[in-house]
Chains A and B, each alone.
Chain A
């Protein structure tokens, strides 16, 4: 979950990291008032959760409060990469001696948080890393041993910083590391971290990402910042379809039938589990199919949950058929999913045999599930038919839905519809 710059600054202030004088405004009048209080040149910055705001005209300079108000009016109305700003930041434009970079991320290979520091701030750190690797310091720090500020010092000193700069920068980087773990961040960066003419340091821009898994225990901070539970802050805002998917998943604690993501195709997908969904979505696309959605079923959801998810997918405009497919299940029950998807078709007035292009979920309780599918004439297959073969079958059926009858096509090999043994 990404934070706006003004929120990231509040987090820095909370942890004692010095900031340039600034204020957050949602109207031109407020921006003018803040600029008046700063009483000097200011920069007005659009508060959007996307990059490239400088290029888009979302960052402008002003010498007077009147000018600040006028810029704020323009920026507040400016859409950047499809995002309208939450407000503007009015920031004092002090004379800067030098710009630094301070950041903290996780290193998934070493499995520890890592300080990243550079004396070339103000530009993208990846560019610095590529062009000037000798200007980047990196170092891991412990997550269980306290009193490790010297790690931050080592990283700052690694790029050649010494003297009073070293002693002023070390606590800033160390505090950034502490807040990074304390608030479940996956990224915390100050860029630029500016040294002013008087020798002091201030954060001039900041970017932070909190891990979704950490949100439940970060209520206090999120409440203070006014971030509501409904704000997902994903890379793209959820659609109405996706919000409905979340509601279906949240309505019943048994299993998962959610993580719904909307796409523009005509083949509805009722797929699972985590890795199975990724594999099947890729397979449908690789075979020329157009998925209408992504989703994940797993952890043995109830019949009603599987049914409601299926109804959601079937109700999406443009969806001709659905493919019900998973990798081999050992916890989720095949018969329960089968019952859920058939129920959804019937309750919406569809013939399951016509709407369900293919059912490929092998594993726990498959005999019971296959019997049920047999009764409704739904084409199904067991594990001897690969995930890609099942996806191919679904894609072919959708492609031929208008033309020749799918029933004329060769059936899949393996144990499929029509061969289920009686128990």
Chain B
């Protein structure tokens, strides 16, 4: 079993000629991922690290002779909705949206189309997905050698609303000798394509995964949704959470860190979320360094 990606997953990069996209393409290729093409309108015929560039997804599909499994979208916010619609309408089933500062309406539209077409969106405002030692899709973990340092294979699934903290937590798990099964940077926006609860069934079905670590923040209701999912489905996976941004509880209406952190009601605060997680038997770590111990305790492993 695998979650979202494996060594055979093919994907494309939309906006591939942008500065960040060029780096991301290099990093993914070095890590062993299969990028079969890129799209930037008006740049047909170019290559980015040996990856052919096309004007459109349809043109790419025609030329390569296959529909890619996934797409990493890195186009500016104004053009993201169109790029994502283009990928989904071409039959792409996994879309990772890196772009940040996309208006919520556009995100809702992309997510709605994806659900009508049976596609999955990760992000926006995320760094993507990594299966340590197998493949990565997106800038997660950075250059291949840096990614190898932070991400070693192991039994812990990681889901995080912060891209950087995905790597910090995974590195801590790796250093403790536990390692990571799949890490997903789910995105920092108020509406995202895949929430913790929506990704849980994938981890649940994955033999490699024995525990879950989540990084969460104030804003939104997705921690309460996860708590409900864990209770109702009697998940076999112990979950350990870390909640950042506790200081924001005193500052309603302000947004820090990510767009999604704006507190729009009492249920959005860190304190309320911690209470919901505790009710579902989810351990909440006070410091990142406590996470490996809490995980090891729950899966009966002795720490390195």
Instruction: Write out the residue numbers on chain A whose beta carbons fall within 8 Å of the beta carbon of B175.
Output: 383-384
If A144-B113, A273-B162 touch, whether A327 touches B168 (CB-CB below 8 Å) is yes
CB of A274 within 8 A of CB of B162, answer: yes
Bound-state Cα–Cα, A388 to B172, Å: 13
CB of B217 within 8 A of CB of A278, answer: yes
B185 to A, closest residue via Cβ: A275
Instruction: Write out the residue numbers on chain A whose beta carbons fall within 8 Å of the beta carbon of B231.
Output: none
Q: Say whether B188 faces chain A, with CB atoms less than 8 Å apart.
A: yes
Bound-state Cα–Cα, A43 to B55, Å: 60
Instruction: Write out the residue numbers on chain A whose beta carbons fall within 8 Å of the beta carbon of B278.
Output: none
CB of B288 within 8 A of CB of A217, answer: no
A187-227 interface bits toward B, Cβ cutoff 8 Å, 1 = contact, 0 = none: 10000000000000000000000011110110000000000
CB of A106 within 8 A of CB of B165, answer: no
Q: Say whether A347 faces chain B, with CB atoms less than 8 Å apart.
A: no
B162 to A, closest residue via Cβ: A275
B278-294 interface bits toward A, Cβ cutoff 8 Å, 1 = contact, 0 = none: 00000000111100000
Surface stretch bound by A, among B44-52, B56-64, B245-253: B245-253
Instruction: Write out the residue numbers on chain B whose beta carbons fall within 8 Å of the beta carbon of A274.
Output: 162-164, 188, 257-258
CB of B167 within 8 A of CB of A111, answer: no
If A143-B109, A331-B142 touch, whether A211 touches B288 (CB-CB below 8 Å) is no
Find B146's partner among A296, A327, A330, A384 (CB 8 Å cutoff): A330
B146 to A, closest residue via Cβ: A330
Can you spell out 17 A-B residue pairs with CB atoms less than 8 angstroms apart?
A: A108-B190, A109-B225, A111-B111, A113-B108, A213-B259, A235-B253, A236-B254, A261-B256, A275-B244, A278-B247, A279-B242, A279-B288, A281-B245, A326-B164, A327-B162, A331-B142, A383-B171
Instruction: Write out the residue numbers on chain A whose beta carbons fall within 8 Å of the beta carbon of B150.
Output: 328, 383
Q: Say whether B67 faces chain A, with CB atoms less than 8 Å apart.
A: no
Shortest CB distance A375–B (Å): 24
CB of B104 within 8 A of CB of A184, answer: yes
* Size class of the B contact interface (CB-based, 8 Å): 35 or more
Q: Say whether B177 faces chain A, with CB atoms less than 8 Å apart.
A: no
Give the residues from 188 to 204 in chain B that come closer than 8 angstroms, CB to CB, to chain A. 188, 190-191, 195
Q: Say whether B102 faces chain A, with CB atoms less than 8 Å apart.
A: yes
If A275-B161, A387-B168 touch, whether A234 touches B253 (CB-CB below 8 Å) is yes
Q: Looking at A109, A214, A272, A274, which has the most chain B CB atoms within 10 Å of its CB?
A: A274
Instruction: Write out the residue numbers on chain A whose beta carbons fall within 8 Å of the beta carbon of B261.
Output: 278
Instruction: Write out the residue numbers on chain A whose beta carbons fall within 8 Å of the beta carbon of B116.
Output: 144
Q: Say whether A126 faces chain B, with CB atoms less than 8 Å apart.
A: yes
Give the residues from 91 to 125 in chain B that come closer than 8 angstroms, CB to CB, to chain A. 101-105, 107-109, 111-113, 116
Q: Say whether A56 faces chain B, with CB atoms less than 8 Å apart.
A: no
A276 to B, closest residue via Cβ: B164
If A275-B162, A275-B215, A384-B175 touch, whether A330 touches B142 (CB-CB below 8 Å) is yes
If A109-B221, A111-B112, A112-B108 touch, whether A279 touches B244 (CB-CB below 8 Å) is yes
Q: Say whether B141 faces chain A, with CB atoms less than 8 Å apart.
A: yes
Binding site for B on A (CB under 8 A): 105-106, 108-109, 111-113, 126, 142-144, 181, 184, 186-187, 211-214, 216-217, 234-236, 259, 261, 272-279, 281-283, 285-286, 294, 296, 298, 326-331, 363-364, 383-384, 386-389
Q: Looking at A278, A281, A329, which has the most chain B CB atoms within 10 Å of its CB?
A: A278
Bound-state Cα–Cα, A384 to B288, Å: 12
Binding site for A on B (CB under 8 A): 20, 23, 77-78, 101-105, 107-109, 111-113, 116, 139-143, 146-147, 150, 160-165, 167-168, 171-172, 175, 188, 190-191, 195, 215, 217, 220-222, 225, 242, 244-248, 251-254, 256-261, 264-265, 286-289
A279 to B, closest residue via Cβ: B244
Instruction: Write out the residue numbers on chain B whose beta carbons fall within 8 Å of the beta carbon of A331.
Output: 20, 23, 139, 142
A281 to B, closest residue via Cβ: B247
If A106-B104, A328-B164 touch, whether A111 touches B258 (CB-CB below 8 Å) is no
Instruction: Write out the residue numbers on chain B whose beta carbons fall within 8 Å of the beta carbon of A328.
Output: 150, 164, 167-168, 171
Shortest CB distance B185–A (Å): 10
Bound-state Cα–Cα, A326 to B165, Å: 10
Instruction: Write out the residue numbers on chain B whose beta carbons fall within 8 Å of the beta carbon of A111.
Output: 107-108, 111-112, 191
If A213-B104, A275-B217 touch, whether A259 touches B164 (CB-CB below 8 Å) is no
B260 to A, closest residue via Cβ: A108
If A126-B265, A217-B103, A282-B245 touch, whether A388 touches B289 (CB-CB below 8 Å) is yes
